[in-house]
Structure 1
């Protein structure tokens, strides 16, 4: 009977860990998509719009960089850091955002200048940029849904109850077979089983800035800024050669 209980417990732990791993990977994939879409959006702004309407291209790039930082702030529930967007946004713009915005990620997307562009700009280009902006918002929403939707408490509490009962009963069940070896054997079994549950809990919502195993969202924002700066340097170099 105890072996059958262990088999059932094993299936429940595998499901728990698999769901946590899927959630972690979905969040990482969403951040990768945000970096790529931000790069694509800024590339279109600099290369296609910059020669025609440089001020609008500059505004789009600035708020595109702010979007990634806004997503991080929403997921971590922290204030918008001016230091992380210095050089892209002014202190007055960040202050206005903190005062007026209820959602730091949606505020930059609502202030992008794509819909304000001149009619002579290519409709296909504007449509592509609109899709990129919609994709950025969608990926942000994906991570917000993951953060707000955990596994049902009924499943988690049931699993933990069975898990603790199984571990606590191990010494009484196997003491007659293992003797003094029961102590290290039970310790190893408890470490393995409780470790799986702990790892699943750790990876379920990987947004904390203080946990080693969580996503390095500050690094993702810096990657976006670095790639945008490389685009700007390339464009200035091309202009200089011309």
Structure 2
């Protein structure tokens, strides 16, 4: 992993939430300046009595923001664990297929290689499925044209690939190229892949409750708009800057939760799904270049 200096990260815009919240922060800061101008014009805008309201709101906001961020990170981490399970299952499955499935006919080796490509295709199809993207040319070289055409018509491409892999195991079992214990182990690994896919779909299709999202935004806005009335007498011309800094903190924490709650996209803060698929591709390519395989017994 590339090491980045502390100061470089402070100035880095890519991956930060600054661009998403900057207009809200500026708006709150300008509102603070407006209150200061009204105060200088001797209008009764200074209201120190709202201090207790601000204290109560700060406590509630702190709890809500912590809960919001923790909930979003749990979704992010759950997505990472699901993809970790996919990688582990594919590694184990590809290794066992390569070393355990008997090769009784000359074409059996080619069929095993085709199946390993389907394991890679599963990861790519899962990535596209979670991004709501259609089946594309990434998958063309990993399967037959007939399979590719069929995959484009299905609503859940990764699950369809699982069915194809399961069919292969059933055929090999009927040919006595797999024993009962191996068949059970293979099916367990396939089940793990389906569970991981379902876990990711659960994250994708279960949004944070809208009422919670709306209420949190309303409270943050109310808090930022009340602040200038409480501090203008003491801060005077610094009121706008202080309000902007506080709103930057609050809006930033909220935006972080929004940014990571769906970790399957292409943003800088999303999971590196392309990297995961590249890892699987490299693992399978390394495996197929090994000589160890249950050889043809003619």
Mark yes or no: TM-score above 0.5: yes
Tell me which of 190, 197, 221 is aligned to 2:254.
197
Bigger Cα displacement from structure 2, 223-232 vs 179-188: 179-188
Tell me which of 97, 106, 111 is aligned to 2:151.
97
Asked which structure has the greater CA Rg, the reply is 2
Q: Is 1:75–1:147's contact at 8 Å kept on the other side of the alignment?
A: yes
Task: Provide the C-alpha distance between the structure 1 equivalents of 2:112 and 2:188, rounded to a whole number of angstroms.
Answer: 17
Number of residue-to-residue matches in the alignment: 236
CA drift of 1:54 comes to: 3.0
Q: Is 1:46–1:235's contact at 8 Å kept on the other side of the alignment?
A: no
1:155 is matched with 212
1:222 and 2:278 matched: yes
Task: Provide the C-alpha distance between the structure 2 equivalents of 1:140 and 1:176, rounded to a whole number of angstroms.
Answer: 57
Task: Provide the C-alpha distance between the structure 2 equivalents of 1:129 and 1:237, rounded to a whole number of angstroms.
Answer: 17
CA drift of 1:115 comes to: 1.8
1:61 and 2:113 matched: no
TM-score of the two chains, using structure 2 as the length reference: 0.75
CA drift of 1:180 comes to: 1.6
CA drift of 1:168 comes to: 1.4
Change (3 A) 1:173 1:238: same
2:193 is matched with 136
Q: Is 1:41–1:132's contact at 8 Å kept on the other side of the alignment?
A: yes
1:35 and 2:87 matched: yes
CA drift of 1:60 comes to: 2.6
Task: Provide the C-alpha distance between the structure 1 equivalents of 2:293 and 2:189, rounded to a whole number of angstroms.
Answer: 26
TM-score of the two chains, using structure 1 as the length reference: 0.91
Task: Provide the C-alpha distance between the structure 1 equivalents of 2:277 and 2:136, rounded to a whole number of angstroms.
Answer: 12
Of structures 1 and 2, the one scoring higher in RCO (CA 8 A, sep 6+) is: 2
Task: Provide the C-alpha distance between the structure 1 equivalents of 2:180 and 2:214, rounded to a whole number of angstroms.
Answer: 54
Task: Provide the C-alpha distance between the structure 2 equivalents of 1:58 and 1:237, rounded to a whole number of angstroms.
Answer: 11
Task: Provide the C-alpha distance between the structure 2 equivalents of 1:26 and 1:135, rounded to a whole number of angstroms.
Answer: 14
Residues 42-92 of structure 1 show CA distances to partners (whole Å, capped at 9, x for unaligned) of 11110111545435533431221111111111111112122x345432444
